[in-house]
Structure 1
Amino acid sequence: MSRRPVTIVIFSGFFLLGMLFIMWGILLPDIAADLAMSELVSGGFFLLFSVGMMLGAIIGGKYVSKFEFLPLLAVLCITDSVLLLVMAHLQHWQSMLAVVFVIGLVSSSIITIGHTLIARLYEEKRFAMMGIMDFMFSLGTFAASFYVTLVYSFALDWRWTIRIVVVMLLFLSLYTWLAARSQKKQLAGQPKAQGQTLKYSDVIRRPVFLLLALVSFGYGAVEFGNANWFVSYAQQGQGFSGDDSRYLLAFFTAGMVISRLTFSLCLRYFSIHRLTVIMTTMTLAGAAGIKLGDTFMQIGSFNLLLGLGLGGLFPLVLSSAMNIDPAKGPVLSGITIIGNSLGVQISSFSTGLWANFAPLTTAFWVIPLAAVWLWLAGWYFSRQLKAINLSAGH
């Protein structure tokens, strides 16, 4: 299989998905005003999208290996395009909730295929390429705000921001379909690999993969707990202005981007299991420092530390798991997405619930507590990796 077209498809797709995922939060106030969505309904919007992601990860991890990846990817991208086009014309919030659930399901399957293909194509530099792939996702989230601002500068509404993404996804679908045809011609006459249905039970029985799910849970809880609640915490709890609060959060996103680009370089100096502990320790220190700090520079520095520890951790642990059993790539990707989605839901919901009974400054302790969970899961995961590597050496 030729690497270049597949890599272009995956990296472009992850960039567009990163834009799309963060756009929900940017556009939600306008969508809610247009469709008369209450705060409860708006919360349901994110919940259903997250549940769709979980279900898509379960289905995708189990069944995508039954199909040829590139043609399936083209179909999924076209399906996402059609769903987004439908969303851009909806007039009632009830149908909006149904559509965003299916978009989450389809998008999650695309991510599962992306993780699997890159891991298989670049076995010799899997860590670096997985990091760059997740960097493209982060780059999409970074670009989303500028994209929405640009579209709105032409006096267009939220529907147009989605329609333009539809056009970009359709172009990606066409390129993917052409790449799939080219690959089919190159492989003509060669025996095809037998499609198979993978079983989660075969993977979860192994302690190292169960710990991968627990690490992913903590990862999602810390990343999106901080992303969803930090600005409110900085404004309400620490008295920073809206602009200063967003600048402080930018330290976190900058750390995430830098970490995903550079973590693989650290593997020249540290073993995988040791780097896992180092990054989870940085994450814990950053999360605790954000809560305990009170000046702009203190909180900004700890936000940067949190991003540097957290950003590369996801591709690091997923790549190391795929090194153990490459054939189970789709299931392993599915496990991480499921754990991540559960962490997002529980962290965001528990912070909001706690904030109903106590000040947000107290409720924000959910993020450092999630970081403790992540450190413990990461430490046990690293011990399993070390034991597996030692046994393989013998």
Structure 2
Amino acid sequence: MPAHSDSIRSKEAPTTVFFTLGTLLLIAAGLSFLAWGMVGVITGPLLPETIADFALTGTQAGLVFFAWSGAFSIGSFASKPLLERMSPTTLLGFTTAMAAIISIGLFATDRFVIYAAAFAMLGIVGGATFTITHTLIGQTFSHRRVSALGMLDVVFSVGNLLAPVMVVALLAQGFDWQLPFALFAALFIVLAAFFGALSWMQRNDPGISSQKSSETDVGRTGRAEGLIALSLASFSLGWLEWGHNVWLVTYAIETGRINDLARFGHVTFLAGMITARLSAIALNDRMQTIWALRMLFVLVIGGSLSLSYVHTDMAYLVGTFAMGAGMGALFPIFLGRAMNIDPSRSSTFSIIMIVSLSIGGQFASLSIGALADALGITTAFLVNGVFVMVLVASFEAFRRGNIPCPT
């Protein structure tokens, strides 16, 4: 990392009364990802109220998601030069404080233009926060990168699940639909203070090291072919994850599943993803062994074939769980592997993966919809099989072109 990134040697992290500083950083990062997990999906549960309150068309309402996801990629890119000048922990204090201010604006505004612009700004801050956090946690927990990154994925998923529950509970009690943003603002204020305190502890504790890493020290993942392979794998992962999140239920109903079973299949898909992420926390680098990776790829391929060609209720449930279990841990595995090969480019790898995932998800939601209009959703869903093959082939190319996975 750059000279000002104030990383922590996890084996030598200074201790507080109860926790090491590294543990406190992981707790703060986890709470931050929990909050961002809720923010990231809140537009869906609030969509009916948003449309009604602002008198929107469906197209206008859809702009909120695209403003968010596009800005997320911009924020991820923008974080890299900041990481060269400031401590990641200090930066997280700033980005979290900005998120609090923007959330207050989302709570208070009664104009859609301001609402959409604020969501775009929140996306920029969110993208920067993700890359900064991945960089900080990946370097702090250099011996347990996959576990630490997997933990962030798990709490982010929990945030995804909590958001609709929170919306239902608040609306059932008669609260205004914009109240969740006030609650987010309060949480972000607490987290900004938490990161501020941790930044102060880093600057004043002699146990903190200021490691320097040369940007000229190019690891093999810095080569264009390695970055392209990682980007293709991430794009395919984004396509498959969001293609299923958006279109799975519609596809299941079209192929003969009843509505309740179709929706339950989405639950089994998410359950598979969370199961895989919990496994990544427990197994750490063992998830990067050749056989573990190939087992995950077998689950993805098998799940895709089951969903596409065996149209029974059991095949649908087994296929959705297998797809989720195969894909759920791939992000921390891919990112942890890249960081292990070339730690000096942690932020670069995070940016590449976040942006590629985001673009893949956007292309999936639009392209599958367009193909469904032209050919039907059953035919359109078969395209996912192409991206399953691209996912496996591109990461295999990335693996073979760099230091071998642990065995």
Q: TM-score, normalised by structure 1?
A: 0.91
Superposed, 1:195-210 pairs within 5 Å as: 205-210=223-228
Match of 2:153 in 1: 134
- Counterpart among 151, 165, 179 of residue 170 in structure 2: 151
Match of 2:199 in 1: 180
Match of 1:42 in 2: 61
Q: Is the 8 A contact 1:209 1:321 kept in 2?
A: no
Q: Residue by residue, what CA displacement relative to the aligned partner does 1:261-307 show, whole Å, maximum 9, x if unpaired?
A: 11365567675344333323321221232222323221111100001
Match of 2:234 in 1: 216
Inter-partner Cα distance in structure 1 for 2:80 and 2:366: 26
Letter in 2 for 1:248: G
Inter-partner Cα distance in structure 2 for 1:95 and 1:167: 20
Q: Is the 8 A contact 1:118 1:130 kept in 2?
A: yes
Inter-partner Cα distance in structure 1 for 2:216 and 2:363: 28
- Counterpart among 290, 297, 309 of residue 280 in structure 1: 297
Match of 2:76 in 1: 57
Percent identical pairs in the alignment equals: 24
- Counterpart among 14, 19, 22 of residue 3 in structure 1: 22
Structure (1 or 2) with the greater helix fraction: 1
SS at match of 1:238: coil
- Counterpart among 375, 378, 387 of residue 358 in structure 1: 375
Inter-partner Cα distance in structure 1 for 2:190 and 2:209: 31
Pair 1:270–1:203, CA change in 2 (3 A): closer
Deviation (angstroms), 1:237: 4.1
SS at match of 1:350: helix
Match of 1:254 in 2: 271
- Counterpart among 371, 376, 386 of residue 393 in structure 2: 376
Match of 1:294 in 2: 311
Pair 1:181–1:120, CA change in 2 (3 A): same
Q: Is the 8 A contact 2:73 2:355 kept in 1?
A: yes
Q: Is the 8 A contact 1:73 1:176 kept in 2?
A: yes
Pair 1:14–1:42, CA change in 2 (3 A): same
SS at match of 1:66: coil
Pair 1:22–1:48, CA change in 2 (3 A): same
1:240 aligns with 2:258: yes
1:345 aligns with 2:351: no
Inter-partner Cα distance in structure 1 for 2:179 and 2:206: 40
Q: Residue by residue, what CA displacement relative to the aligned partner does 1:303-341 show, whole Å, maximum 9, x if unpaired?
A: 000011000111001000000111111111011001101
Inter-partner Cα distance in structure 2 for 1:61 and 1:134: 21
Q: Is the 8 A contact 2:147 2:283 kept in 1?
A: no
Q: Is the 8 A contact 1:17 1:137 kept in 2?
A: yes
Inter-partner Cα distance in structure 1 for 2:106 and 2:204: 36
Pair 1:133–1:157, CA change in 2 (3 A): same
Deviation (angstroms), 1:197: 8.4
Greater shift in the superposed pair: 103-112 or 145-154: 145-154
Pair 1:55–1:228, CA change in 2 (3 A): same
Pair 1:315–1:198, CA change in 2 (3 A): farther
Inter-partner Cα distance in structure 2 for 1:197 and 1:69: 17
Q: TM-score, normalised by structure 2?
A: 0.88
Q: Please give the root-mean-square deviation of Cα atoms over the aligned residues, in Å.
A: 2.7
Deviation (angstroms), 1:245: 2.2
- State the aligned residue count: 388
Pair 1:98–1:336, CA change in 2 (3 A): same
Superposed, 1:9-88 pairs within 5 Å as: 9-88=28-107
Q: Is the 8 A contact 1:347 1:366 kept in 2?
A: no
Pair 1:199–1:146, CA change in 2 (3 A): farther
SS at match of 1:148: helix
Pair 1:355–1:171, CA change in 2 (3 A): same
Deviation (angstroms), 1:203: 6.0
Pair 1:232–1:44, CA change in 2 (3 A): same
Pair 1:271–1:10, CA change in 2 (3 A): closer
Pair 1:270–1:24, CA change in 2 (3 A): closer
Letter in 1 for 2:56: M
Q: Is the 8 A contact 1:88 1:160 kept in 2?
A: yes
Q: Is the 8 A contact 1:127 1:319 kept in 2?
A: yes
Inter-partner Cα distance in structure 2 for 1:234 and 1:203: 39
Gaps in structure 2 of 5+ consecutive residues: 1-7, 9-20
Inter-partner Cα distance in structure 2 for 1:270 and 1:119: 16
Letter in 1 for 2:181: I
Q: Is the 8 A contact 2:70 2:123 kept in 1?
A: yes
Inter-partner Cα distance in structure 2 for 1:89 and 1:355: 39
Letter in 1 for 2:317: G
Letter in 2 for 1:307: G
Inter-partner Cα distance in structure 2 for 1:265 and 1:360: 38
Pair 1:161–1:268, CA change in 2 (3 A): closer
SS at match of 1:7: helix
Q: Residue by residue, what CA displacement relative to the aligned partner does 1:210-269 show, whole Å, maximum 9, x if unpaired?
A: 21111110111000110011122223443421x332211000000000101113655676
Q: Is the 8 A contact 2:73 2:124 kept in 1?
A: yes
